[in-house]
Amino acid sequence: MPGPEEPAAASAATTTATAAATAAAVEQHTIDHVPDSERHGRVKDLFTMWFGTNIAPLPLVTGAMGVQVFHQSFWSSVLAIVVGQLVGGVFMALHSAQGPRLGVPQMIQSRAQFGAIGALLIVVVAAAMYIGFFASNIVLAGKSLHGLAPGVPVDAGIVLGALGSAVICWIGYRLIHTLNKVATWVLGIGIVAGLAVVVARGLPDDFFTRGGFTFAGWLATVSLSALWQLAFAPYVSDYSRYLPRMVRTSATFWATYWGSCLGSTLPFLAGTVIGLAAPGTDDTVAGFDSAAGGFGPVILLLFLFSVINHNALNLYGAVLSLITIGQTFRTAWQPRQTARGAVSAVVLVAALLIAVGLAGDFVSHFVNLVLVLLIVLVPWTAINLIDFYLVHRGRYALEDLFLPDGGRYGRFNTVALVSYAIGIVVQLPFVATSLYTGPLVEPLGGADLSWLVGLVVTAPVYYFWARSREEGGERPSVPRQQESPVATAGAASTAP
């Protein structure tokens, strides 16, 4: 958990105000370190950032799966959603608290655990995840636009939705935060009003009796809910790295935690309601439109805005990940705004090709994507958090993260890579997907326990191995007198 609060310097407020006033409207940084002179913003901005971005069609679709795919009752699904959000949100918010301390994107920071070249494994996984989510979201944008204007084909709507997200990504950090402040109020009120209309129009007689509790289905719903939070982990600190480094770690944690948990729980629960109120359709967004009657077009319009806004984060994360891959092999490269725009265009074309293929069988493809992601994300998040909070306690030599040989972190960190491999392997017997089902799934009643096993095994394996290596002097730590100012701030605020 976040450590004690760090005392702020007397000049902190002045420095922050100056940085905010001079920060460029169009973001200039990509994966490089954000200096103190350009730090700006307030911790409470993280609440609106994650509340606003989570009210989107994709969590609505995911929330409906509890009743549509796993056949849970209303109350069983609601409980699973809340449990998954509260558990997954802890890991997500702990990653967010790293941003102000280090001032670098999450994938760059992963070099400290996996090594300069070893981290590429994680970066490639993250890039694939972002592109997959981006493609999934623009499918929903296309369908929302088609629902509003039937004369616009779904494929044309997909293209327009993708272009809208690309513009937001190109402008960058400040616009993303601003749009989510707007989204917090507009989308929050809109989805509550939409649900009120659905309930007022009358729910089916079997609304509360359809489906039932099964342990396997309930746990699968918990897993999907938790994954929604875990999926943010590889890029959540990208949106806190501009905050002044003296902000309280606990404040950063809680603003992110409650913003993300509350913001995503709302559409997840809405998806559950729509899944039961509009049976017989796999298109949850269309079901909401139909169940809301005359308010339906308003819902579609709000969802069109939300999916374009939300999807800008996926594109932003994909671009930073791909730039990280390129910079790994060209360490002298200092990519800026132009590079972000060029890489965005490449991702845009690739995602459009994927989206057109996904549009015909969206739900099944999406379920497979998120379940596979759960397997590969859990070991990484365990290693990253254990290393930051318990092994190095926020003390990193940031300059070494950009060196060709990785500096003191090397090209490969065997401890992290082997621990990561172990974390994946131990999950396989417990995996339950349409692509692969492990041998221990049936004895457990069909429940997918892979993510729990991955966390429980990976965390202690990495912790004890990494600590013994540090204490044995095999991998030199950062002496306090050699720490950068950012690293020193991290040490003060993350010590248990």
Q: Which residues pair with 437 in a beta bridge?
A: 432
Cα–Cα distance measured from residue 90 to residue 96, given in angstroms and rounded to the nearest whole number: 10
Cα–Cα distance measured from residue 206 to residue 251, given in angstroms and rounded to the nearest whole number: 44
Q: Which residues pair with 432 in a beta bridge?
A: 437
Cα–Cα distance measured from residue 64 to residue 361, given in angstroms and rounded to the nearest whole number: 16
Cα–Cα distance measured from residue 111 to residue 31, given in angstroms and rounded to the nearest whole number: 12
What pLDDT, on the 0 to 100 scale, is given for residue 74? 95
What pLDDT, on the 0 to 100 scale, is given for residue 282? 66
**Size of the chain in residues:** 496
Residue pointed to by tokens 């729509």: 274
Give the right CATH number for 38-366 from 1.10.1200.10, 3.40.190.10, 1.10.10.10, 1.10.4160.10: 1.10.4160.10
Q: Give CA torsion, residues 448, 451, 456, 458, to 10 deg.
A: 130
Phi, psi of 98 (to 5 degrees): -75, -30
**CA–CA distances in Å: residue 93 to residues 50, 195, 223, 382:** 10, 28, 17, 13
- CA 90, 93, 97, 102 dihedral sign is positive
User: What are the domain boundaries of the chain?
Assistant: 38-366
Q: Is the CB of residue 325 less than 8 Å from the CB of residue 127?
A: yes
Cα–Cα distance measured from residue 85 to residue 234, given in angstroms and rounded to the nearest whole number: 17
The three state secondary structure string of the chain is CCCCCCCCCCCHHHHHHHHHHHCCCCCCCCCCCCCHHHCCCCCCHHHHHHHHHHCCHHHHHHHHHHHHCCCCCHHHHHHHHHHHHHHHHHHHHHHHCHHHHHCCCHHHHCHHHHCCCCCHHHHHHHHHHHHHHHHHHHHHHHHHHHHHCCCCCHHHHHHHHHHHHHHHHHHCHHHHHHHHHHHHHHHHHHHHHHHHHHHHCCCCCCCCCCCCCCHHHHHHHHHHHHHHHHCCCCCHHHHCCCCCCCCCHHHHHHHHHHHHHHHHHHHHHHHHHHHHHCCCCCCHHHHHHHHCHHHHHHHHHHHHHHHHHHHHHHHHHHHHHHHHHHHHHCCCCCCCHHHHHHHHHHHHHHHHHHHHHHHHHHHHHHHHHHHHHHHHHHHHHHHHHHHHHHHCCCCCCHHHHHCCCCHHHCCCCHHHHHHHHHHHHCCHHHCECCCCECCCCHHHCCCCCHHHHHHHHHHHHHHHHHHHHHHCCCCCCCCHHHCCHHHHHHHHHHCC
Residue-by-residue pLDDT tens, the chain, 496 positions: 554 444 444 344 444 444 444 455 777 778 888 888 888 888 999 999 999 989 888 888 889 989 988 899 999 999 999 999 999 999 999 999 999 999 998 889 999 999 999 999 889 888 888 888 888 778 878 887 888 888 888 888 888 888 888 888 888 778 888 888 888 899 899 999 999 999 999 899 899 999 999 888 898 899 889 888 988 888 899 889 989 988 999 999 999 999 999 999 999 999 999 999 887 666 787 788 888 888 888 888 888 888 888 888 888 888 889 999 998 888 888 887 788 888 888 888 888 887 776 656 655 566 666 667 778 888 999 999 999 999 998 889 989 999 888 898 999 999 999 999 999 999 999 888 777 888 988 877 677 788 889 999 999 999 999 998 877 666 655 544 344 443 443 333 443 3
Cα–Cα distance measured from residue 60 to residue 66, given in angstroms and rounded to the nearest whole number: 11
Report angle CA 455, 456, 460 to the nearest 5 degrees.
Answer: 100
Interacting residues of 274 by C-beta distance below 8 A, sequence separation 6+:
60, 64, 198, 284, 287, 288, 291
Cα–Cα distance measured from residue 92 to residue 313, given in angstroms and rounded to the nearest whole number: 15
**CA–CA distances in Å: residue 206 to residues 28, 74, 283:** 55, 10, 20
Report angle CA 57, 454, 386 to the nearest 5 degrees.
Answer: 95
Burial 274-296 (b: 16+ CB within 10 A, else e): bbbbbeeeebbbbbbbbbbeebb
Q: Is the CB of residue 490 less than 8 Å from the CB of residue 2?
A: no
Query: Which candidate, 245, 243, 246, 268, places its Cα nearest to that of 256?
Result: 243
Q: Is the CB of residue 161 less than 8 Å from the CB of residue 307?
A: yes
Residue pointed to by tokens 């005392």: 7
